[in-house]
Chains A and B, each alone.
Chain A
Amino acid sequence: NAGVTQTPKFQVLKTGQSMTLQCAQDMNHNSMYWYRQDPGMGLRLIYYSASEGTTDKGEVPNGYNVSRLNKREFSLRLESAAPSQTSVYFCATALTSSYEQYFGPGTRLTVT
Protein backbone atom coordinates (compact mmCIF):
# COMPACT_ATOMS: atom_id res chain seq x y z
CA ASN A 1 0.00 0.00 0.00
CA ALA A 2 1.72 3.17 -1.18
CA GLY A 3 -0.93 5.50 0.25
CA VAL A 4 -0.58 8.89 -1.43
CA THR A 5 2.23 9.31 -3.96
CA GLN A 6 3.39 12.49 -5.68
CA THR A 7 5.66 12.97 -8.68
CA PRO A 8 8.08 14.53 -9.18
CA LYS A 9 9.73 15.03 -5.77
CA PHE A 10 11.72 18.05 -6.97
CA GLN A 11 11.44 20.33 -9.99
CA VAL A 12 13.12 23.50 -11.21
CA LEU A 13 11.34 25.54 -13.86
CA LYS A 14 12.12 28.74 -15.69
CA THR A 15 9.55 31.54 -15.67
CA GLY A 16 6.91 30.86 -18.32
CA GLN A 17 7.43 27.11 -18.52
CA SER A 18 4.56 24.74 -17.85
CA MET A 19 4.38 21.50 -15.92
CA THR A 20 1.98 19.08 -14.33
CA LEU A 21 2.28 17.72 -10.80
CA GLN A 22 0.85 14.24 -10.39
CA CYS A 23 -0.89 12.75 -7.37
CA ALA A 24 -2.15 9.18 -7.06
CA GLN A 25 -3.75 7.29 -4.18
CA ASP A 26 -4.54 3.65 -3.56
CA MET A 27 -6.72 4.25 -0.50
CA ASN A 28 -10.01 4.19 -2.44
CA HIS A 29 -10.74 7.71 -1.17
CA ASN A 30 -13.30 9.91 -2.88
CA SER A 31 -11.91 13.37 -2.06
CA MET A 32 -8.57 14.78 -3.15
CA TYR A 33 -6.85 18.12 -2.49
CA TRP A 34 -3.91 20.23 -3.60
CA TYR A 35 -2.17 22.56 -1.13
CA ARG A 36 0.87 24.80 -1.29
CA GLN A 37 3.16 25.65 1.60
CA ASP A 38 5.50 28.62 1.46
CA PRO A 39 8.51 28.84 3.82
CA GLY A 40 7.46 29.36 7.43
CA MET A 41 3.77 29.34 6.52
CA GLY A 42 0.85 27.03 6.98
CA LEU A 43 -0.81 25.19 4.12
CA ARG A 44 -3.13 26.95 1.71
CA LEU A 45 -5.71 25.09 -0.34
CA ILE A 46 -5.38 25.54 -4.12
CA TYR A 47 -8.08 23.23 -5.51
CA TYR A 48 -10.01 20.24 -4.32
CA SER A 49 -12.16 17.47 -5.74
CA ALA A 50 -14.90 16.26 -3.44
CA SER A 51 -15.56 13.28 -5.69
CA GLU A 52 -14.64 11.93 -9.11
CA GLY A 53 -15.84 14.30 -11.81
CA THR A 54 -15.98 17.42 -9.63
CA THR A 55 -13.41 20.11 -8.86
CA ASP A 56 -13.65 23.35 -6.90
CA LYS A 57 -11.42 26.31 -6.18
CA GLY A 58 -9.75 26.70 -2.84
CA GLU A 59 -8.10 29.70 -1.25
CA VAL A 60 -5.37 30.39 -3.87
CA PRO A 61 -6.43 28.95 -7.29
CA ASN A 62 -5.02 31.66 -9.59
CA GLY A 63 -2.33 30.38 -11.96
CA TYR A 64 -3.33 26.72 -11.57
CA ASN A 65 -5.63 24.19 -13.20
CA VAL A 66 -6.57 20.71 -12.04
CA SER A 67 -7.85 17.49 -13.53
CA ARG A 68 -9.49 14.65 -11.62
CA LEU A 69 -8.49 12.00 -14.14
CA ASN A 70 -10.22 9.15 -12.31
CA LYS A 71 -10.86 8.18 -8.70
CA ARG A 72 -7.16 7.53 -8.07
CA GLU A 73 -5.48 10.48 -9.75
CA PHE A 74 -5.64 14.26 -9.32
CA SER A 75 -3.19 16.43 -11.25
CA LEU A 76 -2.21 20.08 -10.81
CA ARG A 77 -1.04 22.07 -13.83
CA LEU A 78 0.95 25.28 -13.95
CA GLU A 79 0.44 26.73 -17.46
CA SER A 80 2.98 29.55 -17.18
CA ALA A 81 5.11 29.27 -14.07
CA ALA A 82 6.00 32.39 -12.09
CA PRO A 83 8.59 32.85 -9.30
CA SER A 84 5.68 33.43 -6.89
CA GLN A 85 4.74 29.78 -7.42
CA THR A 86 7.97 28.58 -5.85
CA SER A 87 6.66 26.44 -3.02
CA VAL A 88 6.18 22.94 -1.67
CA TYR A 89 3.04 21.34 -3.07
CA PHE A 90 1.15 18.70 -1.11
CA CYS A 91 -1.59 16.42 -2.32
CA ALA A 92 -4.06 15.00 0.20
CA THR A 93 -6.95 12.55 0.12
CA ALA A 94 -9.91 11.79 2.35
CA LEU A 95 -12.54 9.07 2.40
CA THR A 96 -15.04 11.83 1.76
CA SER A 97 -14.89 15.56 2.37
CA SER A 98 -16.21 14.91 5.89
CA TYR A 99 -13.21 12.86 7.01
CA GLU A 100 -9.63 13.51 8.02
CA GLN A 101 -7.08 14.01 5.25
CA TYR A 102 -3.98 11.98 4.45
CA PHE A 103 -1.08 13.78 2.83
CA GLY A 104 1.55 12.82 0.28
CA PRO A 105 5.29 13.54 0.71
CA GLY A 106 5.23 16.77 -1.31
CA THR A 107 6.78 18.21 -4.48
CA ARG A 108 9.38 20.93 -4.04
CA LEU A 109 9.08 23.38 -6.94
CA THR A 110 11.45 26.24 -7.68
CA VAL A 111 10.67 28.75 -10.42
CA THR A 112 13.61 30.94 -11.48
Chain B
Amino acid sequence: DAKTTQPPSMDCAEGRAANLPCNHSTISGNEYVYWYRQIHSQGPQYIIHGLKNNETNEMASLIITEDRKSSTLILPHATLRDTAVYYCIAWANRDDKIIFGKGTRLHILP
Protein backbone atom coordinates (compact mmCIF):
# COMPACT_ATOMS: atom_id res chain seq x y z
CA ASP B 1 0.00 0.00 0.00
CA ALA B 2 1.09 3.55 -0.70
CA LYS B 3 2.48 5.30 2.36
CA THR B 4 1.04 8.62 1.24
CA THR B 5 -2.50 9.97 0.84
CA GLN B 6 -3.46 12.54 -1.78
CA PRO B 7 -6.78 13.97 -2.96
CA PRO B 8 -7.85 12.30 -6.21
CA SER B 9 -8.30 15.58 -8.10
CA MET B 10 -7.92 19.34 -7.85
CA ASP B 11 -8.62 22.39 -9.98
CA CYS B 12 -6.53 25.54 -10.23
CA ALA B 13 -6.95 28.67 -12.32
CA GLU B 14 -4.23 29.43 -14.84
CA GLY B 15 -1.70 31.90 -13.45
CA ARG B 16 -2.53 31.12 -9.84
CA ALA B 17 -0.42 29.06 -7.45
CA ALA B 18 -1.36 25.39 -7.34
CA ASN B 19 -0.98 23.88 -3.86
CA LEU B 20 -1.05 20.08 -3.85
CA PRO B 21 -1.30 18.45 -0.40
CA CYS B 22 0.07 15.09 0.67
CA ASN B 23 -0.32 13.24 3.96
CA HIS B 24 2.41 10.84 5.08
CA SER B 25 1.66 10.36 8.75
CA THR B 26 3.65 7.10 9.00
CA ILE B 27 6.77 8.36 7.25
CA SER B 28 10.02 7.06 8.72
CA GLY B 29 12.85 9.31 9.81
CA ASN B 30 15.06 8.26 6.90
CA GLU B 31 12.38 8.59 4.21
CA TYR B 32 12.41 11.51 1.83
CA VAL B 33 9.29 13.02 0.27
CA TYR B 34 9.49 12.87 -3.53
CA TRP B 35 7.17 14.41 -6.09
CA TYR B 36 6.75 13.25 -9.68
CA ARG B 37 4.19 14.19 -12.29
CA GLN B 38 2.81 12.40 -15.33
CA ILE B 39 1.52 14.47 -18.21
CA HIS B 40 -1.11 12.68 -20.28
CA SER B 41 0.35 9.27 -21.14
CA GLN B 42 4.01 10.21 -20.97
CA GLY B 43 6.50 8.72 -18.54
CA PRO B 44 6.57 10.28 -15.07
CA GLN B 45 8.84 13.30 -14.57
CA TYR B 46 10.79 14.01 -11.39
CA ILE B 47 9.90 17.37 -9.81
CA ILE B 48 11.50 17.80 -6.40
CA HIS B 49 12.31 16.02 -3.13
CA GLY B 50 13.09 16.89 0.47
CA LEU B 51 13.73 15.41 3.90
CA LYS B 52 13.00 18.05 6.54
CA ASN B 53 13.70 21.47 5.12
CA ASN B 54 11.65 23.27 2.53
CA GLU B 55 13.06 23.00 -0.98
CA THR B 56 12.74 25.06 -4.14
CA ASN B 57 13.89 24.52 -7.69
CA GLU B 58 13.01 25.91 -11.10
CA MET B 59 9.82 23.85 -11.28
CA ALA B 60 8.28 24.00 -7.81
CA SER B 61 8.57 24.47 -4.06
CA LEU B 62 8.13 21.78 -1.44
CA ILE B 63 6.91 22.68 2.04
CA ILE B 64 7.24 19.94 4.68
CA THR B 65 5.60 20.36 8.08
CA GLU B 66 7.82 20.33 11.13
CA ASP B 67 6.45 16.96 12.27
CA ARG B 68 6.95 15.63 8.70
CA LYS B 69 3.45 14.15 8.65
CA SER B 70 2.40 16.16 5.62
CA SER B 71 3.76 18.29 2.80
CA THR B 72 2.59 20.62 0.05
CA LEU B 73 3.91 20.93 -3.49
CA ILE B 74 3.54 24.45 -4.82
CA LEU B 75 3.56 25.34 -8.51
CA PRO B 76 3.87 29.12 -8.23
CA HIS B 77 2.24 30.20 -11.51
CA ALA B 78 0.30 27.30 -12.97
CA THR B 79 -0.03 27.03 -16.74
CA LEU B 80 -2.14 24.73 -18.89
CA ARG B 81 0.97 22.61 -19.43
CA ASP B 82 0.95 21.77 -15.71
CA THR B 83 -2.22 19.70 -16.16
CA ALA B 84 -1.05 16.25 -15.04
CA VAL B 85 -1.26 13.57 -12.36
CA TYR B 86 1.03 14.44 -9.45
CA TYR B 87 2.48 11.66 -7.30
CA CYS B 88 3.74 12.14 -3.75
CA ILE B 89 6.07 9.34 -2.63
CA ALA B 90 7.82 8.56 0.64
CA TRP B 91 11.10 6.81 -0.14
CA ALA B 92 14.22 5.99 1.84
CA ASN B 93 16.80 6.48 -0.94
CA ARG B 94 18.19 2.99 -0.87
CA ASP B 95 17.57 -0.36 -2.59
CA ASP B 96 13.90 -0.13 -1.78
CA LYS B 97 10.79 -0.25 -3.87
CA ILE B 98 9.24 3.07 -4.75
CA ILE B 99 5.46 2.86 -4.41
CA PHE B 100 3.51 5.10 -6.76
CA GLY B 101 -0.07 5.55 -5.54
CA LYS B 102 -2.87 6.96 -7.66
CA GLY B 103 -1.75 10.57 -7.26
CA THR B 104 -3.72 13.81 -7.66
CA ARG B 105 -5.11 14.74 -11.06
CA LEU B 106 -4.54 18.49 -11.36
CA HIS B 107 -6.68 20.40 -13.84
CA ILE B 108 -5.51 23.88 -14.79
CA LEU B 109 -8.49 25.95 -15.86
CA PRO B 110 -8.06 28.70 -18.50
Contacts and interface: CB of A to CB of B under 8 A. Distances in A.
For B41, B44, B87, the residue with the greatest tally of chain A CB atoms inside 10 Å of its CB is B44
B9 interface: no
Given A42-B87, A59-B97, A105 B42 contact: yes
A43 B95 contact: no
B41 A106 contact: yes
Interface in B87-110: 87, 93-103
Interface residues of A, number: 27
Interface residues of B, number: 21
A69 to B, nearest CB: 21
Interface in A13-40: 35, 40
Contacts of A92: 43-44
Interface in B1-52: 2, 34, 41-46, 49
B46 A102 contact: yes
A103 B97 contact: no
Given A90-B43, A92-B43, A98 B93 contact: yes
Pick the most buried of B42, B94, B100, B103: most chain A CB atoms within 10 A of its CB. Answer: B100
B44 A43 contact: yes
B41 to A, nearest CB: 7
Nearest to A33: B98
A104 B38 CA distance: 12
A87 to B, nearest CB: 12
Contact of A42 (B2, B43, B49, B94): B2
Contacts of A100: 34, 46, 49
A50 B98 CA distance: 13
Interface in B51-110: 87, 93-103
Contact of B44 (A50, A99, A103): A103
Contacts of A77: none
Query: When A and B form their complex, which 3 residue pairs have the shortest distance between CB atoms, in order from nearest?
Result: A103-B43, A42-B100, A43-B100
